[in-house]
Amino acid sequence: MTARIGVVTFPGSLDDRDTQRAIRVAGAEPVALWHKDKDLKQVDAVVLCGGFSYGDYLRAGAIARFSPVMEPLIDQAKAGLPVLGICNGFQILTEAHLLPGAMLGNDHLHFICRDQKLRVENADTAWTTDYTAGQEIHIPLKNMDGRYVADRRTLDELEAEGRVAFRYVDFNPNGSLNDIAGITNAAGNVVGLMPHPEHAVEPLIGTGRTDGLPFFTSILKKLVNA
């Protein structure tokens, strides 16, 4: 039976089709979810894709967090449903308190778009098992509000519990504290990151590498072997 991975589209989402393609390239079935859906169509996992939901009004992800689709998603994520938040999706996950901390404007106050080197810090989450801890990868990055912040106690907990999933290497593109590019919840089923792995699954697009594909093969293997 083919694993079904939902991709939520909000008004202002930009990368839903790219994410669906990445899921298909990995061998799973993408399922389109609309922000007004009140159920998740019995998917096995969900991706909140990148973009500018609701135009980033108020602050990035703040309005999307209250979309109808988020109610079942929050409940099921707390019960173990694998959820990946990419860029705006990461922002939504923090607004929904599925991940701690917050995303603020880049410290240089400019939109940034570049290929970014990351180090995999946690290869034990539902979305990272096809990586190895310490592995360095290149993933496209594009954001205006990508600066991860949290209070010192939260940062200390994330570091102590191994919940920093990815860290920027060589260059911190947005001023994120501790060079954090992505984090996970304690259970490892919810992961958020700013760079866009869906743009690095085929050699002809993005970085020209496939460093982002393991996100999608990792969750596929977890679902198949569950």
Distances (CA, A) of 31 to 11, 44, 226: 17, 10, 20
Tell me how far apart the alpha carbons of residues 1 and 141 are, in angstroms, rounded to a whole number: 34
**Residues near 86 by Cβ (< 8 Å), separated by ≥ 6?**
15, 19, 47, 48, 49, 50, 192, 193, 194, 195, 196, 197, 198
**Strand partners for 116:** 139
User: Under the phi-then-psi rule, with left for phi > 0, alpha for psi from -120 to 50, and beta for the rest, what region is 158?
Assistant: alpha
The catalytic site residues sit at 87, 196, 198
